[in-house]
Amino acid sequence: MGAGVDRGATVGIGTGGVVGDTVGIDPGELAGSATPPPASVVDSRSRVGVLASAVAWSTAGAGLMVFRRQVAVVAHESRKSRQYTLELPDDVTRLKTPRAPIDVAVVFVTERADLEKRWPAITKALELDPDLAEAHTVAGMIAATYDWDWATAQREFKRSFELDPNLAITHYRYAWTYLSPMGRHDEAIAEMKKAMELEPLSLIQGANYAGVLMYARRLDEALDQARKTCELDPSFMAGKSWLSHVLNMKGMYPDALAVAENTLDSSTPFLSDAAYAYAKTGQKEKALGVIARWKEGEKHKYVLNYWVAVTYAAIGDKDNAFAELEKAYKSHDWFLQRMKVDPFLDPLRDDPRFEDLLKRINLPE
């Protein structure tokens, strides 16, 4: 058993509770820095442990997800809004939820160095069960998000749909990590609608549906969706994050700051939203102060340079914006695959360096 979690220990996970067959918050989807999580705990003797390793991807801190077939990654322990008891018996790791005990394995990851293990884990999972739809979904998501291998992503998502056409997670991830970044907005929205029909109470799906709508420039719909998600659970950080993103994009900067500034002293500060709103309201020194905070944090933890670039772009500093995007390229930032469609990067689109970067991550112009 790995260090950091004791048998029978209580660990805070996620922000959404148990909704259908999915628990908690996705990794990598909150802009800002994360608290480093504790060490790994994996039962490598179980099929669950192998597959859980495959699902353990993150650039912004660990997250938790429980698939229908007993897969889980536990969120960083700073979140205490909901408590679950983690037990580690000899034969399998079990996570007790209010619904029922679920067999899981637990993996904590932080930076991209951890991602180098992802494909061996996925390959092993598919060797053990080549017809596990969820494994193909995760393979497709990783191929698109971190490897920018769009052909492999398409193939894996297609195989997942063939195996189980009614998995909400597949419709959601296909829309969120493949169709939307490619600029295929109508298809992405149709897939998100299908995912929401299958799992209408999924908080993370609802939050990121707002993101899909924002990338499609359907801002009024995006705002409505973000607000609906926040109404379901006002404490859900990803919901509030996308609400502040959309408010910023609609030019509702005081409202965006009202959301973002309340998080700045928390473990999940919405630094990008605050910095962008500061820049757009003439508060350049405050925006630069957020950048300084990122730069200080970068000395000892992973920072999503993509959002530093967004802030530089907002204050009109293209050279520093592209310097940060180069860092994001080297570390394969979670958000970089969205650059073709992200309205936050509009100030950079007329620069030839933007087109060059699109080509390097294999996105069509």
Contact 134, 169 (CB under 8 A): yes
Q: Does residue 333 belong to any structural domain of this protein?
A: yes
Q: Does residue 145 belong to any structural domain of this protein?
A: no
Alpha-carbon distance values, 144 to 174, 204, 221, 298, 333 (Å): 9, 19, 26, 26, 12
Per residue of the chain (365 residues), what is the pLDDT tens digit? Answer: 222 222 222 222 222 222 222 222 333 344 333 332 222 222 222 222 323 333 332 222 223 333 222 233 322 222 222 233 333 333 323 333 333 222 322 232 333 444 555 556 566 666 766 787 887 888 888 889 888 999 999 999 999 999 999 999 899 999 999 999 999 999 999 999 999 999 999 998 999 999 999 999 999 999 999 999 999 999 999 999 999 999 999 999 999 999 999 999 988 899 999 999 999 999 999 999 999 999 998 888 878 899 999 999 999 999 999 999 999 999 888 899 999 999 999 999 999 999 999 999 998 76
Q: How far is CA 327 from the centre of its chain?
A: 19
Q: Does residue 330 belong to any structural domain of this protein?
A: yes
129-172 pLDDT, tens digit each? 678 788 788 888 888 988 899 999 999 999 999 999 999 989 99
Q: State which residues form the domain around 20.
A: 1-125
Reduced to 3 states, what is the DSSP secondary structure of residue 95?
Answer: strand
For the chain, the straight-line distance linking the first and the last C-alpha, in angstroms and rounded, comes to 48
Determine how many CB atoms are found less than 10 A away from the CB of residue 46. 17
Report how far residue 160's alpha carbon sits from residue 336's, in angstroms, rounded to the nearest whole number.
25
Q: Does residue 195 belong to any structural domain of this protein?
A: no
Q: Does residue 198 belong to any structural domain of this protein?
A: no
Q: Which of 84, 104, 125 is the last residue of a domain?
A: 125
Q: Which of 125, 148, 165 is the last residue of a domain?
A: 125
Q: Which of 96, 125, 154 is the last residue of a domain?
A: 125
Q: Does residue 66 belong to any structural domain of this protein?
A: yes
Report how far residue 343's alpha carbon sits from residue 227's, in angstroms, rounded to the nearest whole number.
20
Report how far residue 123's alpha carbon sits from residue 105's, in angstroms, rounded to the nearest whole number.
17
Q: How many domains does the chain have?
A: 2
For residue 44, the one-letter residue type is S
Q: Does the reported pTM lie above 0.85? A: no
41-93 pLDDT, tens digit each? 222 222 223 233 333 322 222 233 332 222 333 222 222 222 333 333 333 23
Contact 266, 247 (CB under 8 A): no
Q: Does residue 250 belong to any structural domain of this protein?
A: no
Could you tell me how many residues make up the chain?
365
